[in-house]
Amino acid sequence: MRALLILVVAAQFGGPVAAEVALTDVVSERGLKGFVTVDRLPVPAEPVLQQGRTVWEGTCMACHGGNKATGAPKITATKKWESRIAQGLPTLIEHAVQGFVGKTYSEMPARGGNPDLTDEQIASAVAFMVWASGGRDAALHFITTEKE
Ligand code: HEC
């Protein structure tokens, strides 16, 4: 009887649960196809990056999820992010906090247009976006050295 119960429970919970997404499944040259909603992105182990993921969902996703009209580099697309990541996280964070107009004259609004976000929240969102766009090592290095 008990064994049967366990079997039934296992069938219910071991069934069609959405497979956990891995970083390697989402990051590529052109990134994920279509608009990238947060549920398509992996959940990092590090609390700072988890916070960044939440901030990203609330403020950054609208453009960085792949809104072509805005000219925002799409999350997960390494081709769009490589040269940006090469500038280093402090520069990227400064651009995200203060706002930034790049070579194509598309505008990254200060704090993503959300003045309520603190510098720390912006930094975590940038670190998350870098982490999920080919800059995993750079993001992890940044969050561990920042803490010291
Ligand atoms: C209204 C659309 C919009 C929103 C919202 C937005 N961004 Fe951006 N972001 C852009 C655009 C456009 C660019 C590219 C600017 C360029 O290079 O011309 C950009 C570029 C960036 C860059 C790269 C800067 C560089 O030096 O190359 C970072 C980092 C960034 N955004 C972070 C964020 C974060 C973090 C958020 C949320 C808090 C956010 N963005 C929200 C439009 C947006």
pTM of the entire structure? 0.89
pLDDT value, residue 148? 53
Give the CB-side neighbour count of residue 113, counting CA atoms within 13 A: 9
Q: Is the pLDDT of residue 27 over 90?
A: yes
- What is the whole-number distance in angstroms between the Cα of residue 99 and the centre of ligand 1? 8
Ligand 1: residue whose CA is nearest its atom 20: 108
- For residue range 34-77, list pLDDT tens digits in order: 999 999 999 999 999 999 999 999 999 999 999 999 999 999 99
| Rounded alpha-carbon distances, angstroms, from residue 61 to 16, 36, 74 | 27, 8, 9
- What is the whole-number distance in angstroms between the Cα of residue 110 and the centre of ligand 1? 9
Let me know: does 65 contact 37? Beta carbons within 8 Å. yes
- What is the whole-number distance in angstroms between the Cα of residue 37 and the centre of ligand 1? 16
Q: How sure is the predictor about 3, in pLDDT bands with cuts at 50, 70 and 90?
A: low
Residues 6+ apart with CB under 8 A from 67: 35
* Sign of the torsion angle spanned by Cα atoms 70, 73, 74, 79: positive
Tell which one of 48, 108, 121, 142 to mutate to probe ligand 1, the residue whose CB is within 8 A of the most ligand atoms.
108
Percent of the chain having pLDDT more than 70?
A: 86
Question: What atom of ligand 1 comes closest to residue 114's alpha carbon?
Answer: 38
- Distance between CA atoms of residues 54 and 107, nearest Å: 22
Quickly count: other Cβ atoms within 10 Å of residue 57's Cβ: 17
Q: Tell me: domain 20-147, CATH 1.10.760.10, correct? A: yes
Where along the chain do its domains lie?
20-147
